[in-house]
Homo-oligomer: A and B are copies of this chain.
């Protein structure tokens, strides 16, 4: 039973373990420096485990057996291993072979406050909440009584600056698809000067033709990732395997700045690179307007995640937003991966310091539900334009209320800033120590990454680190991305850095 996880018998013997450097049985070659915990007991995750514990290499025999079984049912080429979610807790993911790993990937960055958090289990034990799980409504037509209240307590309580309206959706791709639709509708109404379509609009759209289905476009960035459904995919340009063989649109694609890190040391070079990209953006907007495919909206991630953790400066985003406004394009900030606190602010775009940064902000993953915030002027007036059967899932809003309570109560954004610094400083040290292997350490909060010399070495390092009890993810061509939960503390960073150091030492 999951609630047995929280027995006090299982509380931490953390500091002792750290000092002894026993991060799983595989940590044999203790070369290099040792990191020690400065974490005070108050910041410990009380129901967390005290460190990784590895029994087999990963995937172990049980995982392999289950992968074979699942392989009879669907494609399993991406399956890492099978998990025992009942036994997982906090920052630790337990697999079906009894291996316990420090999880710094957190289900592709989608677990906000760790596994089996007591606050979420408590919510499930409340009989008043049962109905939200067993009676999934068609939210757009028949919402439950507490829907406005729960939206207010959850999504609206963390609404980005300047935004009071939000629409939930089932997943990140759907969120972006519907955000694009909202921008197209808004743009066409601007062109018309009113909201009433012509008879020609109405008849031509039924057969996919202009002017009803207009030749409008969304400007996106090379390296960006905004989802895998066909509309979202037309703005995704991170990896060929996502896009290959799928028909797409002739929409403009701008270069994303390729900066040098640490950003502050290359301010001048980076400013030049950003200016070059901004100039290209403006050229593309003009070119596509001349082509008869005007840009209705610009979509961008505050940090390109899937595409390799590419950062840009607040100045770049401010200028980009100004360009969008100058040319009458909506400005859509995709916070599907960056949102929810892991950069040290709830929304990564808050780091830009703008009062009015975006027209649309989409989210999913750590928010537990997909959706998008939008300015009032981007709301389609009529019914059924932004619509589907479920339009989200109110049971996810219930969880989100609790997640946000935990984030506030435990000041997790401050913790993220603190542990993120420890993590990034550790990465800086390691890249100094292993200059032939590591480079370009970068990050905001715990949303960090580092490059490896080549993709083959990167992939090997990921597997070796996993076999020593730390689960990481790759991104871009040869980057490692760090995506822990918001419960990741300084001592978790130390556990990771010690193990990572051990792995890297084998390459020296």
Contacts and interface: CB of A to CB of B under 8 A. Distances in A.
Given A66-B148, A171-B171, A202 B240 contact: yes
A352 interface: no
Given A1-B128, A80-B142, A173 B174 contact: yes
Contacts of A166: 73-74
Contacts of A207: 237, 253
B79 A205 contact: no
B78 A384 contact: yes
Interface stretch (A241-249, A409-417, A488-496): A241-249
A329 to B, nearest CB: 15
B134 A117 contact: yes
A134 B120 contact: yes
B382 A77 contact: yes
Interface of A: 1-3, 66, 69-70, 72-75, 77-86, 88, 93, 96, 107-108, 110-111, 115-117, 120-121, 124, 127-128, 130-138, 140-145, 147-148, 151-152, 156, 164-167, 170-174, 177-178, 180-181, 184-185, 187-189, 197, 201-203, 205-209, 212-217, 222, 227-232, 234, 237, 239-251, 253, 364-365, 368, 379-390, 395, 399
Given A66-B147, A124-B124, A178-B228, 20 more contacts: A3-B130, A70-B148, A78-B140, A78-B384, A79-B143, A82-B143, A83-B137, A121-B134, A170-B171, A171-B390, A173-B177, A173-B388, A181-B228, A208-B234, A208-B253, A212-B240, A213-B247, A217-B247, A229-B231, A229-B232
25 contacts: A3-B130, A66-B145, A70-B143, A74-B165, A75-B167, A75-B380, A78-B387, A80-B142, A83-B143, A84-B145, A110-B389, A111-B136, A115-B135, A124-B124, A170-B171, A173-B229, A177-B230, A181-B230, A189-B245, A202-B244, A203-B240, A205-B244, A229-B232, A230-B231, A247-B249
Q: Which 10 A-B pairs have the closest CB atoms?
A: A230-B231, A77-B383, A208-B248, A78-B383, A213-B248, A177-B229, A170-B170, A107-B138, A188-B245, A120-B134
